[in-house]
A and B are shown apart, each in its own frame.
Chain A
Amino acid sequence: MALNDPGGADADAEEPPSMLWGLDPVFSAYSRLYITDILQMKESRQVPGVYFYKNHPFFQVDVLGTVVYKREREDFYCYGVDDSTGVINCLCWKDEKWRDQGEPTKCTSSTLRRDPSGSSRGFNIEDELKRLKEAERQSTELEIGDLLRIRGTVKTSRDAREIKATCFYKVSDPVMAVQISHMLEMPRLYRKCYDEPFQMPSDDLGGTEAGGSSHFHYLLSRSVLTLKEFLLEKEVARFRPYDVEFLLHPLIQTSSAEQESDQHRTSLATQIRKLLKETLSVLQDEGQIFRKMRTQDEVYNVTEQDKDLHTAIKDILREDTKREKYAEKGCHVLHILSSMRQRYSQNLSREVLEVALTFLECKSDIISTTEAHYIVL
């Protein structure tokens, strides 16, 4: 049997360590596997009761199949289930509450006693409860040929694999729709999940560099947000980097408290400087801030607060819409950009202009006639 094992074609493949099994989503799910695979998957050497198919760990399964064998005892049913790829024994324990049921027929007839007019004589909860229990019980009593769905754990007892059911019921499938959709679904599941190798995340976590960069990105997003909020709240029109550096201090301090000791090697000041530089770069790319003049003095203008910028834009629009060329449709963004570059600042980027235009439009100072054309009101 080991030779034909589809789940472990590479017989020397090492099992992933048991600590990581929980990271594989199929491990916690009642996985839908073909019975032939359930019968052939190898038991784990680390933890008995867990089985491997292509280095995915399984211990809970969900099968749908025809009952081809039945054995009933006082406490349990043993159904042999055939899904056309294999047959497996399923141990289905009877629920204790059904044992004290009494004659099942009595329950159903009593609840049928209703008014001749058709309305029931009140809602008799005891009778309804009995009917519910009876329906539940009947859904677990199957005959050969019935369709059974089982969810349970895989066990090996006396060299035979079986499923110990945690939940089982007869499936009503009068036009075989359930079986057909199951047959169509299974290959897709295999191709998407079970046949894909289990990616062990230990490769990602390895190395402080990899771990560090994701942490840095987190810090960066927080600092960008912090700065934006500050600039908005204080209505800052212009600033220099050291004016806003203080905002980043609490971020670095909380992070260094959580991080590994090798982060302490780089001094706090260097970290802050690096974070500030990246934050300003992100904000510039977004168009939220800009440098009007590239001088040694690092001054940043805040797009939405820069009154001169807004006035310049409105002036351009006002003047140009008087010209016949732009009168009806308005000025295109690129036209405004080139005018602004001549008039206001050579370093103006399209992103900054678009942020400013959107801001002015929200204030109803200008209107966009198309997605890229603007006129002044």
Chain B
Amino acid sequence: MLPLPAAFYFPWEINIDLVKDGASVRTFGRLTSYVPEESKAVLSCQQSSAQCHVSVQTSLVEPFQPILGAQYFVLGEIEKTDGLGGVTLHARALTCVDGVDLALMQQAIVEQRRFFEEREKLMNVQAPRCESPHT
């Protein structure tokens, strides 16, 4: 009944194979386009001189006040469509968070990941036959 937990991912991690099909994710980006008729939005993010885009399906979160150029936080499921290398995020929650400190957010996500990685290493050391919970 309850949905699966949505882990934090960076926008540039969504489009590559790091994320499984159907996984619940959280991510963020700048709203660069919104087509209300098709319920499609695009969140963009700058990563070391390359722009990356995430397509978002917004049917579940409409109506919402789109502010083009503002930072948004989105939570939803990934759908990997064949062909055009398209990955769509079906948003369950979309919030404007303009003014967010991106550098600090990145630091926080990395810190949380590092903590869980350390913990997993410790668990694997103590019980090497156990399966990793993140597989």
A interface residues (Cβ-Cβ under 8 A, vs B): 3-4, 6, 9-10, 35-36, 66, 68-69, 80, 82-89, 144-145, 173-177, 180-181, 183-184, 186-187, 190-191
Bound Cα distance from A80 to B1, whole angstroms: 10
B contact residues around A184 at 8 Å (CB): 104, 107-108, 111
Closest B residue, CB atoms, query A86: B5
Partner-binding segment picked from B39-47, B80-88, B92-100? B92-100
B contact residues around A177 at 8 Å (CB): 100-101
Once the chains bind, are A4 and B3 in contact (CB under 8 Å)?
Answer: no
Give min CB distance, B100 to chain A, whole Å: 5
Closest B residue, CB atoms, query A191: B115
Once the chains bind, are B1 and A84 in contact (CB under 8 Å)?
Answer: no
Bound Cα distance from A180 to B102, whole angstroms: 10
Give min CB distance, A21 to chain B, whole Å: 24
Known A-B contacts A6-B119, A35-B5, A69-B1; A187 and B133 likewise in contact (beta carbons under 8 Å): no
How many A-B residue pairs lie within 8 Å, measured between CB atoms? 99
Once the chains bind, are B75 and A145 in contact (CB under 8 Å)?
Answer: yes
Bound Cα distance from A298 to B115, whole angstroms: 64
B contact residues around A180 at 8 Å (CB): 100-101, 104-105, 108
Once the chains bind, are B131 and A82 in contact (CB under 8 Å)?
Answer: no
Closest B residue, CB atoms, query A39: B5
| Interface residue SS majority, chain B | mixed
Contact of A174 among B99, B108, B109 (CB under 8 A): B99
Bound Cα distance from A36 to B5, whole angstroms: 9
Give min CB distance, A285 to chain B, whole Å: 47
Once the chains bind, are A187 and B115 in contact (CB under 8 Å)?
Answer: yes
B contact residues around A191 at 8 Å (CB): 115
B interface residues (Cβ-Cβ under 8 A, vs A): 1-8, 26, 61, 73, 75, 92-101, 104-105, 107-109, 111-112, 114-116, 119, 122-123, 126-127, 130-131, 133
Give min CB distance, A37 to chain B, whole Å: 10
Residue from the set B4, B5, B97, B122 with the largest chain A CB neighbour count within 10 Å: B5
A contact residues around B126 at 8 Å (CB): 9-10
Contact of A3 among B3, B122, B130 (CB under 8 A): B130
Known A-B contacts A36-B5, A84-B26; A174 and B97 likewise in contact (beta carbons under 8 Å): yes
Once the chains bind, are B127 and A3 in contact (CB under 8 Å)?
Answer: yes
Once the chains bind, are A187 and B75 in contact (CB under 8 Å)?
Answer: no
Nearest 8 A-B pairs (CB), nearest first? A145-B93, A187-B115, A183-B108, A175-B99, A4-B133, A9-B126, A176-B100, A80-B2
Once the chains bind, are A187 and B114 in contact (CB under 8 Å)?
Answer: yes
B contact residues around A181 at 8 Å (CB): 108
Closest B residue, CB atoms, query A68: B3
Once the chains bind, are A68 and B97 in contact (CB under 8 Å)?
Answer: no
Q: A84-B8, A85-B7, A144-B93 are in contact. List 17 more A-B contacts (CB 8 A).
A: A10-B126, A36-B5, A66-B26, A68-B75, A68-B92, A84-B5, A84-B7, A87-B3, A144-B92, A145-B95, A173-B97, A174-B96, A175-B101, A176-B100, A180-B108, A184-B104, A186-B112
Once the chains bind, are A183 and B111 in contact (CB under 8 Å)?
Answer: yes
